[in-house]
């Protein structure tokens, strides 16, 4: 490796081929127990990153400009690309162990992190994404920090990992995709991470599951110049977008999101935006430019008071109050019922951070399960025929973890359970749905039942 780098240092024409050779070597499989090989890989990655870093770590190291890296499928440890400038980058299916740092990195082209798994903390603070940044189906198990980052193109944290046309040559190699095992707590589907979708009939909102954040994540002060797409993303802990600036279409309807001080410029070229229940845009523009509908600050939505984003609170008692307020809001305002249902579904899609099969539970774990039972009951009670029935509702429970779900006698139009995990006893006695989906496509995104199922769905 030292000899290769010396050749590239002497001949700039060799720098991209040398980078490709090092990346090929880093992608080669190795035994997890081989400590010497792991240290060799760390050294190789450090040496390569030094050549890509603006300013470098040594005056004797000349930065290599206009370099792309492809580390798709590699298993890497303690990655540090801070301050690096890359022409393009592919990290699809990459396994990042230890701490991963991209602080201050610049990606001049598109960057792909589809299905990547970050086992430790990951930081992209101050990173610059000049092209599209794709994080579909990425899993961040530690803390994630995008504070102060800038996305010049599409910021894709939404459903699915790739969208291909029917005649795309990529379909010929889809079987070669090798994602990390989907071994998240309480979830079981080896094919679920792939979730490739068909471009010519899929809308942005359809199918799949988005990026999964296992701990706190910060998008504080981030600038989104293009679409910011978080449809079906799953936030297991605090998610702050405080002070963020949005310019294009946004889909960010998760109830636990904080948008304090955020601003939207009003871009509607790609369609309407969706915000969490409890937030709305306060217009601050006297005359909106063409292609916008008048942007403004994100503020509390008076139309859904007294619900005031209680589901984002850390206190279980406050979240329980929020569920009761949502139920009352839907009872009193029929025009808000579908939004309430979507918010409750998003709440149930929040990952459960502990193993449901383990014996014994802490008081905190028991309180969390009780909250989820309240949310499930809220839906069931209002979908059953009677004076208080909410008619013609659609449920999006894609990827949700459901415990002792009882939808007996419930009626709804469309219900999506693709990738959902049913624990305990599931009851569908007398349920009637116009359409129910339990799989994304064949064996991909299949729902799994980990206990008894009573009754059958009809429609």
Distance, in Å, from the CA atom of 255 to the CA atom of 209, rounded to the nearest integer, reads 16
If pLDDT is split at 50, 70 and 90, which confidence band does 288 have?
A: very low
Statement to judge: residues 424 and 353 lie in one domain: yes
If pLDDT is split at 50, 70 and 90, which confidence band does 285 have?
A: very low
Distance, in Å, from the CA atom of 10 to the CA atom of 147, rounded to the nearest integer, reads 38
Task: Over range 426-430, report the average pLDDT.
Answer: 95
Q: Within a domain: residue 344?
A: yes
- Domain span at residue 322 reads 310-454
Statement to judge: residues 151 and 221 lie in one domain: yes
Provide, rounded to the nearest whole percent, the portion of the chain with pLDDT above 70: 91
Tokens 């690096």 found at: 84
pLDDT for the residue 200: 53
- pLDDT per residue as tens digits for the range 322-360: 999 999 999 999 999 999 999 999 999 999 989 998 888
Q: Within a domain: residue 66?
A: no
Nearest residue to 392 via CA among 447, 338, 317, 326: 338
Statement to judge: residues 135 and 251 lie in one domain: yes
If pLDDT is split at 50, 70 and 90, which confidence band does 290 have?
A: very low
- pLDDT per residue as tens digits for the range 29-81: 887 778 888 889 899 999 999 999 987 555 557 889 999 999 999 999 999 99
Q: Within a domain: residue 31?
A: yes
Distance, in Å, from the CA atom of 72 to the CA atom of 20, rounded to the nearest integer, reads 12
Statement to judge: residues 152 and 263 lie in one domain: yes
- pLDDT per residue as tens digits for the range 220-247: 999 999 999 998 899 999 999 999 999 9
- pLDDT per residue as tens digits for the range 94-109: 999 999 999 999 999 9
More confident residue, 269 or 404: 404
Nearest residue to 373 via CA among 334, 433, 323: 323
Q: Within a domain: residue 55?
A: no
Q: Within a domain: residue 162?
A: yes
Q: Within a domain: residue 323?
A: yes
> What mean pLDDT value characterizes the chain?
89
Tokens of 322: 């929020």
In sequence order, which residues have a C-beta less than 8 Å from that of residue 82 and are 6 or more positions away? 53, 101, 102, 103, 104, 105
- pLDDT per residue as tens digits for the range 195-226: 666 665 455 455 567 899 999 999 999 999 99
Statement to judge: residues 201 and 348 lie in one domain: no
> Which of 300, 318, 341 represents a domain boundary (last residue)?
300
Statement to judge: residues 35 and 87 lie in one domain: no
pLDDT for the residue 211: 92
Q: What is the SS3 assignment for 392?
A: coil
> Which of 268, 300, 332 represents a domain boundary (last residue)?
300
Strand 279-283 to 296-300 pairing? antiparallel
Statement to judge: residues 291 and 314 lie in one domain: no
> Which of 300, 330, 348 represents a domain boundary (last residue)?
300
Q: Which helix (H) or strand (E) holds 77?
A: strand 75-77
Tokens of 43: 């050294």
Tokens 């990529």 found at: 170
In sequence order, which residues have a C-beta less than 8 Å from that of residue 37 and are 6 or more positions away? 30, 31
Distance, in Å, from the CA atom of 45 to the CA atom of 298, rounded to the nearest integer, reads 42
Q: What is the SS3 assignment for 386?
A: coil
In sequence order, which residues have a C-beta less than 8 Å from that of residue 192 and are 6 or more positions away? 182, 209, 419, 444, 445, 446
Distance, in Å, from the CA atom of 216 to the CA atom of 197, rounded to the nearest integer, reads 29
Distance, in Å, from the CA atom of 424 to the CA atom of 450, rounded to the nearest integer, reads 7
> Is 253 within 8 Å of 181 (Cβ atoms)?
no
Statement to judge: residues 220 and 132 lie in one domain: yes
Burial of 82 (0-12, 13-18, 19+ CB in 10 A): middle
Statement to judge: residues 296 and 174 lie in one domain: yes
Statement to judge: residues 143 and 262 lie in one domain: yes
Bridge partners, 395 (sequence order):
415
Q: Which helix (H) or strand (E) holds 455?
A: none
Statement to judge: residues 214 and 123 lie in one domain: yes
Q: Residue 250 pLDDT > 70, yes or no?
A: yes
Nearest residue to 124 via CA among 152, 183, 84, 92: 84
Strand 263-264 to 296-300 pairing? antiparallel
Go through 388-417 and write b for each residue having 16 or more CB atoms within 10 A of its CB, e for each that does not. eebeebbbbbbbbbbbebbbebbbbeebbb
In the chain, the number of structural domains is 3
**Torsion of the alpha carbons at 336, 342, 348 and 353, rounded to the nearest 10:** -110
Statement to judge: residues 288 and 315 lie in one domain: no
Distance, in Å, from the CA atom of 207 to the CA atom of 203, rounded to the nearest integer, reads 9
């Amino acid at each position: 490796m030292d000899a290769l780098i010396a050749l590239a240092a002497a001949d700039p024409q060799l720098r991209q081929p040398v980078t490709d050779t090092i990346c090929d070597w880093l992608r080669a499989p190795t035994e997890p127990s081989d400590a010497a090989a792991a240290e060799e890989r760390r050294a190789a990655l450090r040496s390569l990153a030094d050549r890509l870093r603006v300013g470098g770590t040594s005056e004797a190291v000349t930065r290599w400009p206009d370099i792309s890296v492809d580390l798709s499928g590699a298993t890497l440890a303690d990655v540090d690309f801070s301050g690096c400038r890359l022409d393009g980058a592919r990290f699809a299916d990459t396994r990042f162990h230890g701490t991963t740092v991209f602080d201050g990195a610049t990606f001049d082209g598109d960057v792909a992190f589809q299905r990547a798994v970050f086992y430790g903390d990951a930081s992209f603070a101050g990173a610059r994404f000049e092209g599209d940044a794709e994080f579909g189906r990425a899993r961040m198990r530690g803390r994630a920090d995008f504070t102060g980052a800038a996305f010049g193109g599409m910021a894709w944290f939404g459903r699915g990992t790739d969208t291909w046309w029917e005649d795309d040559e990529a379909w010929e190699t889809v079987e070669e995709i090798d994602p990390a095992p989907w071994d998240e707590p309480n979830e079981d589907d080896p094919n679920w991470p792939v979730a490739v979708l068909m471009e010519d009939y899929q809308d942005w909102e359809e199918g799949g599951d988005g990026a999964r954040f296992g701990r706190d994540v910060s998008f504080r002060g981030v600038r989104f110049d293009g679409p910011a797409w978080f449809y079906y993303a799953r936030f297991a802990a605090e998610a702050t977008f405080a002070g963020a600036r949005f310019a294009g279409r946004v889909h960010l309807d998760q109830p636990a999101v904080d948008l304090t001080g955020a601003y939207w410029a009003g871009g509607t070229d790609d369609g309407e935006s969706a915000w969490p229940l409890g937030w709305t845009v306060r217009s601050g523009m006297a005359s909106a430019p063409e292609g916008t509908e008048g942007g403004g600050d994100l503020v509390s939505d008076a139309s859904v008071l007294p619900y005031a984003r209680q589901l984002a609170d850390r206190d279980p008692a406050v979240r329980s109050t929020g569920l009761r307020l949502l139920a009352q809001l839907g009872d009193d305002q029929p025009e808000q019922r579908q939004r309430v249902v979507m918010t409750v579904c998003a709440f149930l899609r929040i990952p459960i951070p502990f193993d449901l099969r383990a014996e014994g539970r802490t008081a905190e774990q028991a309180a969390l399960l009780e909250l989820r039972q309240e949310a499930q009951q809220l839906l069931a009670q209002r979908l059953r025929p009677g004076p208080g029935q909410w008619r013609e509702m659609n449920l999006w429970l894609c990827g949700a973890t459901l415990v002792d779900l009882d939808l007996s006698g419930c009626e709804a139009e469309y219900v999506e359970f693709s990738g959902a995990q049913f624990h305990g006893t599931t009851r569908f006695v007398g349920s009637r749905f116009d359409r129910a989906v339990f799989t994304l496509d064949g064996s991909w995104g299949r729902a799994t039942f980990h206990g008894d199922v009573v009754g059958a769905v009809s429609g």
